[in-house]
Amino acid sequence: MLWLCRAARQPQRDNNMKVTTLLIICSGLIFGSLGKPQFPEREKDPNFWNLGAQQTLSEALTLQDLNKNKANNLILFLGDGMGIPTVTAARILKGQLMGQSGEEMQLEMDKFPFVSLAKTYNTNAQVPDSAGTATAYLCGVKANEGTVGVSAAAVRSQCNTTQGNEVTSILRWAKDAGKSVGIVTTTRVNHATPSAAYAHSVDRDWYSDNEMPPEALEAGCRDIARQLFENIPNIDVIMGGGRKYMFPKNMSDVEYPGVAKQSGLRKDGRNLVEEWKDKKKDKKGFYIWNKKQLLSLNPNNVDYLLALFEPGDLMYDLERNTETDPSLTEMVEVAIKILKRNPRGFYLLVEVTSIRKCRATTCCQTS
C-alpha cells in the first residue's frame, strides 16, 4: 500500500519503482513461503543428540595426540550470559584498569591450551533460555525453551508430557559412579541452570507448588524445590539462594523477619529444610544461612551441606553485605574442601548468573 501511494505522487520514478515492486514482491514470496520453522522429529529423541555427541568426540580425538587419562574430578564453571561480547568487554576493562589500551590483555581463560565455541539454541527457539541450554550441557540433549531435564518431546507447561521424556544429568552420572557431587550458584538453587542437574520439569518457573497451576499439581507433577531433595537425595553440597521456596507459606524468614515478600511460599505446608535435616541427623549434615556459619565449618567434619544464603537470588557482589553474605569464591573454596575428601573424585557445578541479569538490565558494573 505504501508503494502505491508513492507511485501515484511520483510517476516520473516509474522505472525505479518497478524494480522496487519486484524486490518487495520477491521478498514477500520468500518469507511468506518460509512460514513457521519446522524442527525435525528426530530432535525429540535423546538418542539423536547422544549419538551425535559421541561421533563428534570420536572425530575430535583423532585430530591430534591428546591426554586420554581419565579425570578424577570435574568442575564446570558457568557464566550465564557470558558470551563473546561480555568476555571481550571484560578483557578490555582489565587492560584499561592496568593503564593499557585493553585489547592486548589476556584473561586467564585465554591462556587455556584448548578453547572452543558451541552453538546455543533450543529445539524450538533460535535465541535460547537458561533452562533448555542447561539441559543441553548437563544432560547432553537439546530441549525446548523453558523446560529442564526433559527431552524436546516434552512441551512447556504441559504436565502430562513429562513422564517418559526425562533425561539424566552428569551430576546423576557422577553420583551413580560413587563420586561426591555439589552445586554452587549465585541464584536460587531451584533456578533454571542448577535445576537441570537434578529436576525434570516442563516449566522452569515451577520453583515451588506456589508457582504451579492446580491442574499440574493434580496431575502429579512436582515443583522443582521438592525435586532437589527427592530426585537425588544425597547431593553432598548445595549452596545458593532460594530459602522462601523451601518453607511453608507466610513462615517468617530467618534473615528478614516480618518481611512478607521474603517469607515462605509453600502451599503444601512442608518445611523442606527441616525434612532434609531430619534425614541427615545421623550423618554429618549441616544447614546454614550466613557467611559466618560457612567459614566456621570444619570441612573434614562435613558430609552434607545445605547452604541457603538468601530467600531468592544472592545479591550482586558489589552490593552484598560482606558481613553476612559469602562471595562466590568463598563458597567454591568450602565446597571443594568438602568434596575432595572422596577418593573416588567429585563433580561440582558452579554458576554465576549476574552476568545475564545485569546485561538485561544494563547494570554492567555489577555483572
Q: Is 310 annotated as a binding residue?
A: no
Give phi and psi for 5, each to the nearest 5.
Answer: -65, -45
Q: Is 191 annotated as a binding residue?
A: yes
**Whether residue 143 has pLDDT greater than 90:** yes
pTM equals: 0.85
* Residue numbers annotated as active site: 130
How distant, in Å, are the alpha carbons of 14, 181, 192, 305 from that of 174? 70, 7, 20, 18
Alpha helix (H) residue ranges in the chain: 2-9, 14-34, 46-61, 84-97, 130-139, 170-176, 192-195, 214-218, 224-230, 272-279, 291-295, 328-339, 354-361
The pLDDT of residue 20 is 42
The pLDDT of residue 28 is 45
The pLDDT of residue 3 is 30
The pLDDT of residue 366 is 61
Look up cell 554452587; give the residue: 184
Question: What structural domains and CATH numbers belong to the chain?
Answer: 69-366 (3.40.720.10)
Write out pLDDT tens, residues 190-200: 999 999 999 99
| Element of type H or E holding 182 | strand 180-188
Write out pLDDT tens, residues 224-277: 999 999 999 999 999 999 999 999 999 999 999 999 999 999 999 999 999 999
Write out pLDDT tens, residues 14-41: 444 444 444 444 444 444 445 566 678 8
DSSP string for 76-135: EEEETT--HHHHHHHHHHHHHHTTS-STT---GGGG-S--------BTTBSS--HHHHHH
Looking at per-residue pLDDT, the higher value among 36 and 162 belongs to 162
User: Which cell numbers hold the place of 164?
Assistant: 517418559
Least confident piece of the model among 125-129, 154-158, 160-164, 361-365? 361-365
DSSP state of 212: S
Q: What angle do CA 31, 35, 40 make, to 5 degrees?
A: 125
How many residues are listed for the chain in this entry?
Answer: 367
The pLDDT of residue 116 is 85
Q: What is the mean pLDDT of residues 321-347?
A: 97
Please, which pLDDT band fits residue 62 given cuts at 50, 70 and 90?
confident
Q: Is 185 annotated as a binding residue?
A: no
Q: Is 351 annotated as a binding residue?
A: yes
Q: What is the mean pLDDT of residues 85-114?
A: 91
The pLDDT of residue 48 is 92
How distant, in Å, are the alpha carbons of 4, 21, 28, 339 from that of 9? 9, 16, 24, 77
Taking alpha carbons only, the member of 275, 337, 332, 335 closest to residue 300 is 337
Please, which pLDDT band fits residue 63 given cuts at 50, 70 and 90?
confident
Dihedral of alpha carbons 167, 170, 174, 180, sign: negative
Q: What is the mean pLDDT of residues 284-293?
A: 98
Please, which pLDDT band fits residue 185 given cuts at 50, 70 and 90?
very high
Average of per-residue pLDDT values in the chain: 89
